[in-house]
Amino acid sequence: MTKQLPGSKYGEGIGGTVAVVEDANNPSFDAATHKTSTDKKIAYLLGDGVIASLSEWERGFLMDVYGVVPLSQKQHIRVSKIYSKYSQHHTG
């Protein structure tokens, strides 16, 4: 028999973030709490003001590496180059 968690009297239920981990008893990382300078650059680039300006490849690359830990040195460099291209363009 399955035990069901109690829901809210307002109907939202009980929820939380979901992630695939190697060991469910020892989750290693919560991407929502990870805020490196590269993560901030990716979030800026995927924000409303910039995402439409990105090329299809840039947008796909940034979406693929968002929340990935650890990023390779080449990925960090590529994110920095894309950020430099668009941060100068949009900030003046």
pTM (two decimals):
0.62
Residue 13, pLDDT > 70, answer no
> How far is it, in rounded angstroms, from Cα 30 to Cα 52?
28
pLDDT for residue 91: 47
Average of per-residue pLDDT across 51-63: 94
Residue 86, pLDDT > 90, answer yes
pLDDT for residue 75: 95
pLDDT for residue 69: 78
pLDDT for residue 9: 55
Residue ranges per structural domain of the chain? 31-91
Q: Which helix (H) or strand (E) holds 86?
A: helix 73-91
